[in-house]
Chains A and B, each alone.
Chain A
Amino acid sequence: MMRIENISFSYNAGPVISNLSAEIRAGEFVGIIGPNGSGKSTLLKLMSKILSPSSGAMSMGGRDLKEISLERYARQVAYMPSDTEVCFSFNVREFITMGRFPHAGRYAGLGKKDLHIINMAARNLGIEHLSEKRMEELSQGEKQMVFLAQAIIQQPRLLLLDEPTSHLDIGHTYRIMDSILKLNSEDLTVVAVLHDLNLASEYCKRLILLKDGKILRHGSPQEVITYQNIENSYMTRVLVYKNPFSGKPHVFGIPSSLRK
């Protein structure tokens, strides 16, 4: 679905992504992991066409990204930032409806089909009862669900998520990841930046481990989440065991006072 060939990107401070290549196949659930400052969010922004690479090529469905207009791209790819600050008191219904923008266009209103899509997404994510509530009245968990709904209403083929579970408790974290997994099983390709290695291990079919803007390892959770890889990239000591229930690798940190 998406090919990334040898791309580099730098802010003023220096290179963030250097000579990185990767491929995202249709229907995948890919997790991007790596230490702070390794370029995870930047890679996601490059994939969402918010930023453009300074060198290298990216293509989507065989077409060069540079040739696809921002507007057309938005009909295929949705991006959910790690924190959206809502500065007016929209109610939930108004807010998720904004996800139709790339399809409805600048001047057009909403048709029956649009309303149907909005209603379905609200029902599937279980936020129908929040419709009339104002955004600032929502809890963090509810808010994150609403942001996800807005992205789904955009009807993308590829969904890019930047830390969809930041600031959430374990209950809300798993609820939102379950919703994302369900969408993935319905043929939506998902790429998510995740801080929580265990969450990435449980949900993603493939992981990309970044360090200093380069791919250190990529492959299945079993291949990527090993104590060597994690210790090398995060500069700490860890143990990796299997989750007895799912068989996926889990990472345990070790306080320095217990290290020998």
Chain B
Amino acid sequence: MNIKTRYSLLMLLFLGSIYLGICLGAETFTLSRLFSLSELDKVILFRIRLPRVAAAFITGAGLAVSGCVLQALLRNPLAESYTLGISGGASLGICAGVIMGKLSLIPFFAFIGAVGSVLIIISSSKRRFSNTTVILLGVALNFLFSSLVLFILSIVKNDRFQPTLMWLIGDISYFPPGILLPAIMLVTVISVHLAFSGNVYDMISMGEEKAASMGVDTDMEKKAAFFLCCVITGLCVSLGGIIGFAGLIVPHVSRFIFGSTQRRIIPVSFISGGIFLLLADTAARTLIRPVEMPVGVITGFAGGIFFLSILLKSGRREF
């Protein structure tokens, strides 16, 4: 199958997933119903369904793109916002924002939390930890942050407790509506920038010294890229809470199908990450209808199985 066919299939899947995302849910919109909408239908469709579809797509896209870039920057195939604890940091930031009642500033609080985690990771990478150790550090950070979140929410105990908790465990229906449009624009613009800079991340993935000999200012490039990944992660966590593994699985599957250069894999991951989370969210809304699950349940399940199958298949080989 040549590369053009693969791109065409991806586009087909993209359109199909958007169609499914719009149609399926507590209310099913068949094609004929879409063309003869009642007033109530319009409210459901434009106020609830479409924003949710867009939020799911952009969250998945952003997580996958930042996963791609983080893996190259740290030369670590297991890296992503979730496994590194960046999402955890962002969720602690959000929690602080909710307590202070500054809902419109939520993405900013998330960004600050994300930067906190990244600073810890960068300072550890100077000690030449192995890939696995860096991930263990991420796991430790995640535990730390989620305990802090639970601690804060349990001492505050007001009516915002339940929604915030649901939000943070990965549910795309609790975000403050005002942040959706800016989030879509920012994540898209940053992803385009990262994709165009893909060559630079390819150089860095060969090691800092080799990259320097290729003319890359690695220090500056890495700082800029980490900063942008924090912005993306902050926005994604503000929209959908902590969603694990999307940033890990999507880049790997994309590389397997489309090749490994960042310039190609960042745009592909953007689209396929969006598709992945949109389908997962659609499944979360419809599987046990009318009850809705957090999408984190679906991605966690899919991610866990993916992880296990890779670990068992690769045997003793270091991943």
Contact = CB atoms under 8 A, between A and B. Distances in A.
Interface stretch (B58-66, B194-202, B273-281): B194-202
B133 interface: no
A49 B212 contact: yes
A220 interface: no
Interface string A82-109: 0011111111001001100110101100
Contact of B199 (A45, A48, A104, A154): A104
Contact of B205 (A45, A69, A75, A88): A88
A78 B261 contact: no
B290 interface: no
A35 interface: no
Contacts of B217: 70
B261 A90 contact: yes
Contacts of A97: 261
A9 interface: no
Contacts of B260: 88-91, 94
B214 A102 contact: yes
B146 interface: no
Contacts of A197: none
Contact of B213 (A72, A79, A85): A79
B213 A98 contact: no
Contact of B207 (A74, A81, A102): A81
B150 interface: no
Contacts of B255: 88-89
Contacts of B101: none
Contacts of A70: 212, 215-217
Interface in B48-95: 71-72, 75-77
A50 interface: yes
A178 interface: no
Contacts of A102: 214-215
Contact of B209 (A81, A104, A106): A81
B259 interface: yes
A101 B215 contact: yes
Nearest to A103: B215
A84 B259 contact: no
A154 B215 CA distance: 11
A84 B200 contact: no
Nearest to B263: A109
Given A84-B207, A101-B199, A101-B203, A94 B213 contact: no
Nearest to A85: B207
Interface in B8-27: none
Nearest to B217: A70
Most chain A beta-carbon contacts within 10 A, residue among B197, B205, B217: B205
Most chain B beta-carbon contacts within 10 A, residue among A45, A71, A74, A104: A74
A192 to B, nearest CB: 15
Nearest to A48: B213
B213 to A, nearest CB: 4
A48 B207 CA distance: 15
Contacts of A91: 259-260
A193 interface: no
Nearest to A162: B209
Contacts of B203: 98, 101
Interface string A61-77: 00000000111111101
B42 interface: no
B210 interface: yes
Contacts of A81: 207, 209-210
Contacts of B75: 85, 87
A202 to B, nearest CB: 27
B224 interface: no
Interface string B166-196: 0000000000000000000000000000001
15 contacts: A48-B212, A50-B213, A70-B212, A70-B215, A77-B213, A79-B210, A85-B75, A85-B207, A87-B71, A88-B72, A90-B259, A94-B259, A97-B261, A107-B196, A107-B197
Interface of A: 45, 48-50, 69-75, 77-79, 81, 84-91, 94, 97-98, 101-102, 104, 106-107, 154, 160
Given A98-B214, A106-B200, 4 more contacts: A84-B207, A84-B210, A87-B205, A94-B260
